[in-house]
Structure 1
């Protein structure tokens, strides 16, 4: 067997094996910090509740408060360059929020993305704040999810105009909540209490993110539940990233004192916690340097998921006041925006994007792709530019590999002579081969390394294209208006020339009648094969004959941006290999190898 063909088969088999293993095993089991004493409880009907105890041992009380539906409650509008929505004065909940810059699809009349929705809607999703009662207070004395606030200042929440809500309890304690928002997706929530009563009071501020309607039998709109994508809880605990899938939350152990399934961990200085979907995220962010208790909780009865932050208990003496400021991120996972928030003090906020196992590759690959897109102004051409840069970086290794392959071709007559001389003595033949390689300074395994190095790069680029928002609905040209989606062309629409859609990507028809990009992928792999004569062994010949078309169908349902990369990679590899081998005195007979491939027996089989 030709050693070069052995290497190519081995490298391809390894590539295929790693791809299969990747899709079976990725991602790895998540690790979460050890559980502490739970900080939150669930109400009897499963809706969002206030914490049952504060972060200090001084706090007490069961603290069960239900976030009830009240559609007629007054509202305060939210209007920013990128957000629209409203705040319900029932609980002061931020429970209506839409993203002006993003639409749910590419249809001309598509709705904008709705991130948050109030209690009573099919998939309620909201943020609420309050105070957990401690010594000297009861639940009725502190604001919670159902408190009826009044507007003290402001009319519409915008970057220029904050809004102040207030509420006074029966003990003459006045609570205020000042909400402000920036030009992007960050809210600032300042909670204060003014104690004009005659006695000291202890209480702890908290924030809750709650979402309803996600469960094994209830689907959240937009939830992918795809095994290479993390959707669920994402948090940072003093520099350690915690990721908990929704399905894993359903496996939390039940704490009888909390009457809910919870995972709790203590943050000493810096951290945040929230929910992440494919492209959108909500995150509770206490001020840096503030210790707090974070919790992720699931109520099995009502299919409610919650994340909470509870700050340390404060004691407010009579005639004194206390204030605490936290932030809430609610918006799109744009790399530039999140990076700016990280630079502004949110610890490792960029890690909220699901970079995966190969984060040391996905992060720089995305950065380079992002910069190329800014420079070129088109993500499709940026992907091709990225391919050129990657191939340039790997060129020294590729050069050595192709030089070695050219020398192997020059040694072919001597290798055939060794085979005839050794006859059936395989050990003698191997010894002769090794001596020949050593004498001519040829490494028969050199051809494998460039192919093997492409595997983690391929996976990393696949991850980048799939998870990053910047690729969502990113156009290239013509029918290719979303590089994060599979090729929209097919023979049914004459590869994009006719105005109707191709078969659905999940259908059998789409698997059979593939688009133009997978077809070009198969052709580019087939041409790359033709740089070398077909192997003489019939089994090898059959494997080589089917390989391009197997990969063509296997990658046909992948994101079209990834297929663009693969086509560009094959084309550049073909050109490099052809030119380098020619420079070493061996001219690949591409057309001759194509012609011989249509014959029943290999060109040099001697039959």
Structure 2
């Protein structure tokens, strides 16, 4: 076997390994538990160690009733405060003053005509409850009944609609000398600012710790469960990023109090904590140091993240306040980068799951985003990015293809060595090494571009899969979502026959090839024809089947990734053809195609 064919086989095997490993790492989504089973309302245990530790006894506890602090039973509808911004809609539940209803105006659940707006936060009465709560922990001079609990009914000052131009102020009077306020504002995107205040009209000093938390009932029903994607806890603590999937949160160590983790993080300067989904995220961002905690309550399958701020000493007749922010929205690269660079949210871009190859995925996406800002279409931007990457790697490609052309020139010399050495493999190898040294040819140089393509392939797959900017991004015609597989199907002649393509999750979907996977197979097949088929029958069979195996295996990959691979193969074909011709070797593409068909006819004749 000559070294050029060895390189080709090695390249094929490496590519095959990439695809096989990818399928092992990214299995189809598994069924998740029904989160609707959890609908009971949990309340606050007023103690410093744990601001939220719901128990069966506490589930029926409400704040002590008074004229100034009315309470509402859980089965009664609570009044709501509307939220209306250019990008958000929803409401604030005045029972507990919780943010539990938030939708994204710019994003739909899918591309169907009846699609609804994406929901980020949901109340307890709906599927997948997920909401933000704020409150106070008594430290000294006040007991738990004197602070607003989860079921306390807050009142609104003013007209009662939250917009970027009109912040709202909620108040709660405990009837015993403490008046609590909560001032909420929101910007043009996804950031809420919450200022928690207290006025002390008693005769003594009180000490309280404000807190903010995010509570999620059950594992989200739309959890992807892909190895390549992180969904679950995400927090930054003084520059240290931590991620934990929901199954890991369930295994967090706890002490003797239900749901109170033994391990906590004291954030000295800056950080944030919350939950991240595929494309959406909700995080609490305190303005100063805080105690960061993640919890799981197994009895009710509740996941929770807390940010407990430093205690406030409030003398008689004085007021005090504490500020924090809440991000609840889409993980848009540009928006999050603005919060990081202009508004001081430490390493906020790391909330996007860049993966192990972050040193590649970050710059690759930055370039892709820049190209899209000028081109205006993500599909053409992917093609432009591929051309740019091939241009960067061109010096290596040139050296590789030049070496391949040189080795073609040495074929007669190599054949003579084989005849001379006979069955003496050691003599054959020694003679070939001397020939390579004499002619200054490196047979391994052809593998380097392939090896460099592997991390680029992984990184681009990660970028296409996790970044919001590729979601529902159209290219041309039938490609309406570059983050999804090609929706066309050869089984219905690409829409000419009057029935739909099979469901992508069905077994038969592997036979439902779209236009892009077929073009991918053809591009790989043509790339093979730059070189004559190897003489060994086993090698011939591997090379003959490999493009079509890849075509089927990649049929359900994201259209954006298949588009990248087609473009890459096309550019590689052009580069290799041009470089080999410039070094005196003219690839006989059409001749190699004819020979491949003639071999098939001979094999059939036998």
TM-score in terms of structure 1 length: 0.91
Per-residue deviation, 1:262: 6.6
Per-residue deviation, 1:519: 0.7
**Residue 212 of structure 2, aligned match among 207, 212, 219:** 207
Contact 2:53 2:258 in 1 (8 A): no
Farther-moved stretch of structure 1 (62-71 vs 474-483) = 62-71
Per-residue deviation, 1:76: 0.5
SS of the counterpart of 2:477? coil
Per-residue deviation, 1:580: 0.6
**Residue 198 of structure 1, aligned match among 187, 203, 206:** 203
* Cα distance in 1, alignment partners of residues 225 and 563 from structure 2: 25
Per-residue deviation, 1:17: 2.4
Query: Could you say which residue in structure 2 is the equivalent of 1:248?
Result: 248
Query: Could you say which residue in structure 1 is the equivalent of 2:156?
Result: 151
Aligned ranges 1:65-80 → 2 under 5 Å: 66=59, 69-70=74-75, 72-80=77-85
Show CA shifts across 1:465-514 (max 9, x none). Answer: 00000000000111100000011000234224568542111212210121
Per-residue deviation, 1:26: 8.3
Query: Could you say which residue in structure 2 is the equivalent of 1:445?
Result: 444
Contact 1:229 1:467 in 2 (8 A): yes
Query: Could you say which residue in structure 2 is the equivalent of 1:463?
Result: 462
Query: Could you say which residue in structure 2 is the equivalent of 1:6?
Result: 6
Contact 1:51 1:206 in 2 (8 A): no
Structure 2 alignment gaps of length 5 or more? 28-37, 63-72
Contact 1:154 1:161 in 2 (8 A): no
Per-residue deviation, 1:168: 1.0
Query: Could you say which residue in structure 1 is the equivalent of 2:324?
Result: 326
Query: Could you say which residue in structure 1 is the equivalent of 2:362?
Result: 363
Closer, same or farther: CA 489–25 of 1 in aligned 2, 3 Å: closer
Contact 1:519 1:552 in 2 (8 A): yes
Contact 1:46 1:301 in 2 (8 A): no
Query: Could you say which residue in structure 2 is the equivalent of 1:54?
Result: 48
Contact 1:60 1:133 in 2 (8 A): no
SS of the counterpart of 1:437? helix
Query: Could you say which residue in structure 2 is the equivalent of 1:33?
Result: none
* Cα distance in 1, alignment partners of residues 267 and 207 from structure 2: 21
SS of the counterpart of 2:598? coil
Contact 1:535 1:602 in 2 (8 A): no
Query: Could you say which residue in structure 1 is the equivalent of 2:294?
Result: 296
Show CA shifts across 1:231-270 (max 9, x none). Answer: 0011101111100101111222232134456752221111
* Cα distance in 2, alignment partners of residues 598 and 45 from structure 1: 66
Farther-moved stretch of structure 1 (227-236 vs 252-261) = 252-261
Per-residue deviation, 1:517: 0.6
Q: How many residues align structurally?
A: 578
* Cα distance in 2, alignment partners of residues 63 and 486 from structure 1: 43
Show CA shifts across 1:405-464 (max 9, x none). Answer: 000000001001100000000000000000000000000011101111100000100000
Query: Could you say which residue in structure 1 is the equivalent of 2:257?
Result: 257
* Cα distance in 2, alignment partners of residues 337 and 559 from structure 1: 25
Q: 2:112 aligned with 1:107, yes or no?
A: yes
Query: Could you say which residue in structure 2 is the equivalent of 1:232?
Result: 232
Contact 2:215 2:304 in 1 (8 A): yes
Per-residue deviation, 1:47: 5.2
Closer, same or farther: CA 374–496 of 1 in aligned 2, 3 Å: farther
The structure whose residues are more often helix, as a share, is 2
Structure 1 alignment gaps of length 5 or more? 28-43, 215-219
Q: CA RMSD in A?
A: 2.3
Query: Could you say which residue in structure 1 is the equivalent of 2:576?
Result: 577
Show CA shifts across 1:120-174 (max 9, x none). Answer: 2221111010001111222111112211111123420000000000011132111
